A and B are shown apart, each in its own frame.
Chain A
Amino acid sequence: AQSVTQPDIHITVSEGASLELRCNYSYGATPYLFWYVQSPGQGLQLLLKYFSGDTLVQGIKGFEAEFKRSQSSFNLRKPSVHWSDAAEYFCAVGAGYALNFGKGTSLLVTP
């Protein structure tokens, strides 16, 4: 079955520092992969997605992610974090008609 693992439950970074959130997937074929962000009390917003082509994907809000088949990973990156990036981030993999989500990584941004 398709599944997603986000190894880091919480991450703290300083404002202006770079960010990398990890995501590992389990899937037999080429996966459909997504990153979503959830601000407190809100629904989830799609940041970016990958399903074929260039393995480096650009998303909204300055985020990017790189698909690495050899490592079964789809890590999310941002070169310089802003305080407004504090939120919960979810990686997801396509599974038939639905998505399977990881358990999320909570990002705290310090001054």
Chain B
Amino acid sequence: DAGITQSPRHKVTETGTPVTLRCHQTENHRYMYWYRQDPGHGLRLIHYSYGVKDTDKGEVSDGYSVSRSKTEDFLLTLESATSSQTSVYFCAINAEGRDIGYTFGSGTRLTVV
């Protein structure tokens, strides 16, 4: 969808290395989210942000950190990548909370070898 971009689209990295995924939006939305999608698990929330420098943990936050230094960018960092973090990562944005519904990015496919 226009207005939200994830980079990179694909990445292969080695176990133990740090990895940063970027989500960029041009919609000036307050809320931004990181989810991971795995077969049989659906989408699980990693972290979310409700404003610049305001973030909170989701269901599966261990091993991940986030930063939001400006409205348009939300970064997800895998501090030391493990094979269990091989997944498809989706960013989503939302203007004013849960009743609007999200707009999703196209995803980043991360493989940890």
Q: Which one of B42, B98, B101, B105 lies within 8 Å of A96 (CB-CB)?
A: B98
Binds A, one of B13-21, B43-51, B65-73: B43-51
User: Across the interface, do B90 and A103 meet the contact criterion of CB distance under 8 Å?
Assistant: no
User: Across the interface, do B31 and A97 meet the contact criterion of CB distance under 8 Å?
Assistant: yes
Bound together, the chains give a CA A29 to CA B107 distance in angstroms of: 32
Question: Which residues of chain B are within 8 angstroms of A32 by Cβ–Cβ distance?
Answer: 98-99
Least CB distance, A21 to chain B, in whole angstroms: 14
User: Across the interface, do B98 and A90 meet the contact criterion of CB distance under 8 Å?
Assistant: no
User: Across the interface, do B90 and A44 meet the contact criterion of CB distance under 8 Å?
Assistant: yes
Given contacts A43-B90, A51-B99, contact A98 B43 (CB under 8 A): no
Q: Which partner residue on chain B sits nearest A102 by CB separation?
A: B42
- The answer to whether the Cβ of B77 comes within 8 Å of any Cβ in the partner chain is no
User: Across the interface, do A103 and B41 meet the contact criterion of CB distance under 8 Å?
Assistant: yes
Instruction: Name the interface size band of chain B.
Output: 20 to 34
Q: Which residue, of A43, A99, A102, has the highest number of chain B Cβ atoms within 10 A?
A: A43
Bound together, the chains give a CA A44 to CA B103 distance in angstroms of: 8
- The answer to whether the Cβ of B58 comes within 8 Å of any Cβ in the partner chain is yes
- B-contact 0/1 string along A33-75, CB 8 Å cutoff: 0101000001111100101000000000000000000000000
User: Across the interface, do A46 and B101 meet the contact criterion of CB distance under 8 Å?
Assistant: yes
* Other 6 A-B pairs with CB < 8 A, given A44-B104, A101-B43: A43-B105, A44-B92, A46-B101, A98-B98, A99-B45, A103-B42
Interface of A with B (CB < 8 Å)?
Answer: 32, 34, 36, 42-46, 49, 51, 90, 94-104
- The 6 A-B pairs of least Cβ separation, nearest first, read A94-B98, A43-B104, A103-B42, A101-B43, A46-B101, A44-B104
Q: List 29 A-B contacts (CB under 8 A).
A: A32-B98, A32-B99, A36-B104, A43-B90, A43-B104, A43-B105, A43-B106, A43-B107, A44-B90, A44-B102, A44-B104, A46-B101, A46-B103, A49-B99, A51-B99, A90-B43, A95-B98, A97-B48, A97-B50, A98-B33, A98-B45, A98-B58, A99-B45, A99-B98, A99-B102, A100-B45, A101-B35, A102-B42, A104-B42
